[in-house]
Amino acid sequence: MEILFQAVFALYLGATITALVCFFNLNQRLRLMARGLLGTAAGLHTVYLLVRYFAAGHTPVASSHEAVSFFAWSLTMAYLAFRWRYRVKNFAAFVLPLITLLMLVALFSPARLVELPPAMQSWWLPVHGMIALMANAFLALAFCGGVMYLLQEREIKRKRMGFFSERLPSLEALDNLNQHCLSIGFPLLTLGIVTGSLWARQAWGTYWQWDPKEVWSLITWLIYASMIHQRFTVGWRRRRAAIMAIVGFAAVLFTLWGVNLFLGGVHTYAG
Amino acid sequence: MLAEKISCLGVNHQTAPVEIREKMAFSGDCLNPLVQIKEIPGCDECCFLSTCNRVEVLLVAEPEAATIAAVRDFLFAGSGLSAAEAEKYSYLRTGEAAINHVFRVASSLDSMVLGEPQILGQLKDAYRLAMEHKATGPILHRLLSKSFSVAKRIRTETSIGSSAVSISFAAVQLARKILGDLTGKTVLLAGAGEMAELAAEHLLAQGIGKVVVANRTLERAVNLARRFNGEAASLAELVPRLAEADILISSTGSPELILRRDDMAPLMRQRYNRPIFLIDIAVPRDLDPGLNDLDNIYLYDIDDLQQVVEVNKGERRREADRAERIVEEEAIKFLQWLENMELAPTITELRRRADELRRAELSRTLAALPGLTAEQQGAVEKMSGALVNKLLHHPMLFLKSAERPEDRRRNLLLLRKVFGLDNGDNGDAGP
């Protein structure tokens, strides 16, 4: 299983390097190669998750390794789904490094199979876990779009057209990306919180117990909710939306890791 | 030498930033400057060109510093710049370099956007005006006519102009970077200059939904709007009209800013921060440079558009290299024409001098030999003629034989020196 994971990681790394080289020299053949490597990595990663599912007997989102690996897989799937629907020039060059980074974290996290504590042995685990991580994946795509937007806008505003302006899509396309990813990511995030709350009611008898992870999920949700609200009422779009997508994703990452590292609580992963 | 009398003095986008150029813009009035330059002492012929990106004087004058300085002073009068600054921001080309420059300007190799077609029309207008006011003579007439044919040759032999390379094209490209697909977007033209019209045409070709023309004189706005199937407005309506526009192209002749940062801030709230692309192709500028600091407003003036042009210059650069070779070739041909113009009077003068000498010596000889018959006198005269012809044969060949213009020029000077043609003496100082 470990070798399988390493192979998946190697494929992601290969796809990332190819996509980055392609981003620099705009070689179309490399673009196809990166796509092929990513497709293979996605397929093999799915196999790894299934193997792990059958080996552990539960959805592989329970340990830190599992959650991050599942996050990377969700991000790949979200990217492929997005790519199937929309075309955003050189998007892969920003998303693939993030996937590889997540895989690197997973690689260095203990990958042993864990026994679930009784509270977590519920069918809510796959529902809540998968929805929450899928939400994170779409919010990560919005983050990548935000970074691309700021780079592109910087060149246009400073009137120094060159490296990025040639390689990145129009500001309009990047703002649309932000909106599309949010319009999927935000409902999923809401659903993740709702399912978590229902699960909490079942496991501990209360919907909400102000656990640090719950608090940070709420903060994250409020950031995205205000962003969507502002977008539709006063037109917080484009640059502000891009910055908010980056800030929101920082909150997502903190909810995922920071809380576990600094604040603890019932969501702390085993291992 | 004739070539040395040609000079070109001016300011363009490469030598001076827009802040300097707008100080010396002549607002479309080329006649007054032309008349005044013509009066400058030492100026034989002149032509005055003023466009958004360049103010230039083409001169045929004795190469004296005073004449050039007087022209430069005239160009920068009212700009508030010192003489040293004026020299720093302007260029002066003389002789072959000036000929090359004129050809490069006409074929838009010296333009901000390589291959843009407007400059040729502007140069033709400048020439027509100079001709009508008798400011041109044989040299400028020939030089400018030649520059038009060089531009035509470059246009047909290279593809420099084929990829629609103009400022307006660059603007369209940038609009797509900011606004994405241009279908259904609204463009507002403030002022109805030629460049703005061209930009609007390009935008229409990209599927722009609506064109609104705002002009000081409503009649002109109505006419132009009809051409684009759009709407007309007066310039006073500019700000409220901006609420619906996605692109503003400003090219009014206004000496002051027509849109300030403070006008735009409340408008952006009204627009729900919908982005707007402002293109200022007027010199002096129409739009407050501070507008670019506002969120979702992207302001480009004519110099900034240069940046966009740089990005996709590669392909055209190769065509430009071919065009530069054509320019060099044509400049050599023109220099040859100039030298032939100088060669002909030298040859005539040399023959005349030799003939004068021959006649003087002949009459002296015949006077000393009174016993000669008419037949013998005829033979002596014939002999003197043949002698002069034979003596001049090799110098003439020497004069015409040089291939390179600089060799021709050197030979011409040498010959004039050897035969004392510039000394004013008639060579009749013999013993």
Local confidence band at B310 (pLDDT 50, 70, 90 cut-offs): low
Average pLDDT over residues A70-95: 91
Q: Which residues of B touch A178 (CB under 8 A)?
A: none
pLDDT value, residue A56:
84
For A137, A226, B375, the CA distances from A245, given in Å and listed in that order, are 13, 11, 113
- Between B30 and B122, whose confidence is greater? B122
Distance from CA of A173 to the nearest CA of B (A): 6
DSSP labels for B24-78? T--TT--HHHHHHHHTSTTEEEEEEEE-SSEEEEEEEE---HHHHHHHHHHHHTT
Measure the CA–CA gap between B60 and B137, rounded to whole angstroms: 9
pLDDT exceeds cutoff 70 at B246: yes
For A63-67, which contacts have Cβ atoms below 8 Å and span 24 or more sequence positions? A63/A109, A63/A110, A63/A111, A63/A112, A63/A114, A63/A269, A63/A270, A63/A271, A64/A109, A64/A110, A64/A260, A64/A269, A64/A271, A65/A106, A65/A109, A65/A110, A65/A111, A65/A271, A67/A129, A67/A133, A67/A256, A67/A269
Residues 6+ apart with CB under 8 A from B177: A152, A156, A165, A170, A171
pLDDT exceeds cutoff 50 at B135: yes
- Supply the ipTM of this predicted assembly: 0.85
Distance from CA of A38 to the nearest CA of B (A): 28
- Residue range B2-163, CATH number: 3.30.460.30
Are the CB atoms for A246 and A146 separated by under 8 Å?
yes
pLDDT exceeds cutoff 50 at A219: yes
Local confidence band at B424 (pLDDT 50, 70, 90 cut-offs): low
pLDDT value, residue A271:
37
Local confidence band at B431 (pLDDT 50, 70, 90 cut-offs): very low
Q: Is B118 annotated as a binding residue?
A: yes
Q: Which residues of A touch B180 (CB under 8 A)?
A: 169-173, 176
B307 and A159 within 8 Å at the Cβ level: the answer is yes
Are the CB atoms for A270 and A117 separated by under 8 Å?
yes
pLDDT exceeds cutoff 90 at B204: no
Are the CB atoms for A172 and B179 separated by under 8 Å?
yes
Beta strands B43-50 and B54-61 are antiparallel
Half-sphere exposure of A205 (CA within 13 A, CB side): 0
Could you tell me the strand order of the sheet in which B210-215 lies? B231-234, B210-215, B186-190, B247-250, B276-280, B297-301
pLDDT exceeds cutoff 60 at B401: yes
Measure the CA–CA gap between B139 and B373, rounded to whole angstroms: 52
Beta strands B6-12 and B54-61 are antiparallel
| H or E element in which residue A152 lies | helix A124-158
Half-sphere exposure of B251 (CA within 13 A, CB side): 21
Local confidence band at B247 (pLDDT 50, 70, 90 cut-offs): very high
Q: Chain A neighbours among B 411-430 (CB < 8 Å)?
A: none
pLDDT value, residue B430:
41
- Has domain B167-295 been given CATH number 3.40.50.720? yes
Please choose, from the candidates A98, A86, A116, the residue with its C-alpha nearest in 3D space to the C-alpha of residue A271: A116
Q: Which residues of A touch B304 (CB under 8 A)?
A: 159
pLDDT-above-90 percentage for chain A: 51
Are the CB atoms for B16 and B90 separated by under 8 Å?
yes
Please choose, from the candidates A233, A170, A254, A93, the residue with its C-alpha nearest in 3D space to the C-alpha of residue A246: A254
Using CB atoms, which residue from A161, A234, A240 is nearest to B272?
A234
Alpha-carbon radius of gyration of chain A:
19
Please choose, from the candidates B337, B218, B300, B431, the residue with its C-alpha nearest in 3D space to the C-alpha of residue A160: B300
Residues 6+ apart with CB under 8 A from B182: B172, B175, B176, B203, B206, B207, B208
A159 and B295 within 8 Å at the Cβ level: the answer is no
Q: Does A150 touch chain B (CB under 8 A)?
A: no
For A75, A192, A232, A239, the CA distances from A60, given in Å and listed in that order, are 15, 17, 37, 37
Q: Does A243 touch chain B (CB under 8 A)?
A: no
Q: Does A1 touch chain B (CB under 8 A)?
A: no
Average pLDDT over residues B142-156: 91
Measure the CA–CA gap between B170 and B277, rounded to whole angstroms: 13
Phi, psi dihedral angles at B6 (to 5 degrees): -85, 130
Are the CB atoms for A149 and A238 separated by under 8 Å?
yes
Residues 6+ apart with CB under 8 A from B247: B175, B179, B185, B186, B187, B188, B203, B208, B276, B277, B278, B279
pLDDT exceeds cutoff 80 at B386: yes
pLDDT digits (tens, 9 = 90+) for A125-138: 889 988 998 999 99
pLDDT value, residue B407:
79
pLDDT value, residue A12:
95
Local confidence band at B276 (pLDDT 50, 70, 90 cut-offs): very high
CATH 3.40.50.720 maps onto chain B at 167-295
B30, B43, B46, B52: which is the annotated catalytic residue?
Answer: B52
pLDDT-wise least confident of A239-243, B88-92, B424-428: B424-428
Q: Does B173 touch chain A (CB under 8 A)?
A: no
pLDDT-above-90 percentage for chain B: 31
Average pLDDT over residues B63-71: 86
Local confidence band at B46 (pLDDT 50, 70, 90 cut-offs): very high
Query: Cα-Cα-Cα-Cα dihedral of B57, B58, B64, B66, to 10°?
Result: -20
Measure the CA–CA gap between B154 and B169, rounded to whole angstroms: 20
Distance from CA of A181 to the nearest CA of B (A): 18
pLDDT value, residue A270:
41
Please choose, from the candidates B12, B23, B22, B8, the residue with its C-alpha nearest in 3D space to the C-alpha of residue B89: B12
DSSP labels for A169-186? --HHHHHHHHHHHHHHHH
Residues 6+ apart with CB under 8 A from B9: B56, B57, B59, B68, B71, B72, B75, B90, B91, B92, B93
Measure the CA–CA gap between B374 and B254, rounded to whole angstroms: 85
Are the CB atoms for B241 and B212 separated by under 8 Å?
yes
Measure the CA–CA gap between B143 and B161, rounded to whole angstroms: 23
pLDDT exceeds cutoff 80 at A252: yes
Phi, psi dihedral angles at B429 (to 5 degrees): -100, 10
Q: Does B179 touch chain A (CB under 8 A)?
A: yes
pLDDT exceeds cutoff 70 at B233: yes
Q: Does A167 touch chain B (CB under 8 A)?
A: no
Mean pLDDT rounded to a whole number for chain B: 85
**Residue B52 among the catalytic residues:** yes
Q: Would the pTM count as exceeding 0.95?
A: no
